[in-house]
Amino acid sequence: MTQDSLTLYKLIVLYMLNRVSFPLTKAQIDDFILGREYTNFLTLQQAISELGDAGLVSSRSLSNRTHLLITDAGRETLSYFGNRVSDAIKQDVDAYLRENELELRNEVSIQASYYKSTNGEYEAELIAKEKGAELVTIRLSVPLEEMAVSICDNWQKKNQEIYKYLTDALF
């Protein structure tokens, strides 16, 4: 792999992050880039790591997922070097984001995690966000870890139904 190739992969990641108004997860970026066989997993992870080290992207871990955002320095870098990304790749990115926007946004806007509390029970924390603002946060205590896992899984699948039920019942 040449340095030019690694630079291209970094620019593709920056381009993707710049085209959305919400964070993308590493897994979402992996799915796009690896799915089109632009590079391999290890090289992509190196590119993302170097972007973070250079301050071009910021990351935060939520619910066992790493969310990535482009920084101002990343936008500036993209404005200087974005022309190195071919129009064909840009079209691929734009089509992918257009076709999958709702699913991509939902993945990062719906969060579920659990932990063992001091009283020995498990706390499941469920969050739904829209445009960075929390719409709802639900915290449930359950006696078994399996129940907490199930609650988190079901929140990912049924959050819209649950949110609608809550708003209908409360308003």
The model's pLDDT over 18-60, given as tens digits with 9 standing for 90+, comes to: 998 888 889 899 999 999 999 999 999 999 999 999 999 999 8
pLDDT top residue among 11 and 156 = 11
Query: What confidence tier does 63 reach under pLDDT thresholds 50, 70, 90?
Result: low
Q: Which of residues 69, 91, 108 is at a domain's end? A: 108
**How many domains in the chain?**
2
- Mean pLDDT of all residues in 88-105: 88
Interatomic CA distance for residues 125 and 152, integer angstroms: 8
What's residue 61's pLDDT? 77
Residues 95 and 130 in one domain: no
Residues 100 and 37 in one domain: yes
Residues 58 and 98 in one domain: yes
Interatomic CA distance for residues 106 and 12, integer angstroms: 22
Interatomic CA distance for residues 28 and 24, integer angstroms: 6
Interatomic CA distance for residues 57 and 67, integer angstroms: 10
Residues 133 and 165 in one domain: yes
Per the CB < 8 A criterion, the answer to whether 40 and 69 are in contact is: no
Residues 116 and 99 in one domain: no
- Indicate whether 132 pLDDT > 70: no
What's residue 1's pLDDT? 57
Q: Is-above-0.85 flag for pTM? A: no
Neighbours of 139 (CB within 10 A): 11
Residues 122 and 95 in one domain: no
Residues 97 and 158 in one domain: no
Query: What confidence tier does 131 reach under pLDDT thresholds 50, 70, 90?
Result: low
CATH number of the domain encompassing residue 84: 1.10.10.10
Q: Which of residues 108, 127, 147 is at a domain's end? A: 108
Residues 86 and 161 in one domain: no
Range of the domain at 153: 109-170
Residues 34 and 52 in one domain: yes
Residues 73 and 26 in one domain: yes
Residues 55 and 91 in one domain: yes
Residues 9 and 79 in one domain: yes
What's residue 15's pLDDT? 96
